[in-house]
Amino acid sequence: MTTPPLPSDSSAALTNSSSSASASAVFSIPPYTTISVKSHLPITLELKRPNFTCWSSFFLSFCGKFSLLLHIDGSQEAFPIDAAWAAADSCVHNWLLSTIGDDVLDLAEASDQTTRQWWPAISGIYQGDLSIDAYCQKMKTTADALCDIGHTVIESQLVLNLLRGLNPHFSSTADNIMNSNPLSNFATAHEKLILKEPHLGNEGQVTS
């Protein structure tokens, strides 16, 4: 059975409708491009208060809601000649910039100097009049800050740096930790120093 031809006006209407649909498909804007990332991500990545782990979990979760993780985890090869891909990639890039503090951006521009900028902060820590707990916490917090920006301090370096800055009264305990084989980890070194601390107080009272 032969289908009768459509009237010219109907044919034109279908053609215009098809063209409009195609145009809508080409110029449609993904809904996530109109979303303010700061209204969903209440954290700004910064160095003065290291918070990379927390910021990262929020940011990854936010991107995951819109199936955009493949733009940051390398799970799919980039396809910059595709308009949709390029738009999504640009959107994620803008989200990153809007949730990263100026101090982090400045550091990223000089990434080759990062360790040299941060290492004095940890190598310049000394116990002085601090308690062992306060001294170890200060050392660990600074090491965690380095880790948060991608420069992990290995356990042995952390322990040796801890021993280097100890009050001279702990020299005998420091020698014992240094000569242990294998070298004690940070938690064990902390525990040994804590056990020694009250003895030093007693020795001071006896001497007085």
Helix (H, G, I), strand (E, B) or coil at 142: helix
152, part of any domain: yes
| 45 backbone dihedrals φ, ψ, rounded to 5° | -70, 125
C-alpha distances (whole Å) from 105 to each of 15, 127, 133 are 51, 32, 33
**pTM of structure:** 0.46
> Do 80 and 128 fall within a single domain?
no
The parent domain of residue 159 ranges over 112-207
End residue of a domain, out of 74, 108, 142: 108
The stretches in the chain having pLDDT less than 70 are 1-29, 48-50, 74-80, 103-121, 149-150, 201-208
> Do 78 and 148 fall within a single domain?
no
pLDDT in tens, 139-159: 998 888 877 766 778 888 889
Task: Report the mean per-residue pLDDT for the chain.
Answer: 74
End residue of a domain, out of 108, 129, 163: 108
150, part of any domain: yes
Distance from C-alpha of 167 to C-alpha of 127, rounded to nearest angstrom = 6
Burial class (CB in 10 A: 0-12, 13-18, 19+), 36: exposed
Total number of domains in the chain: 2
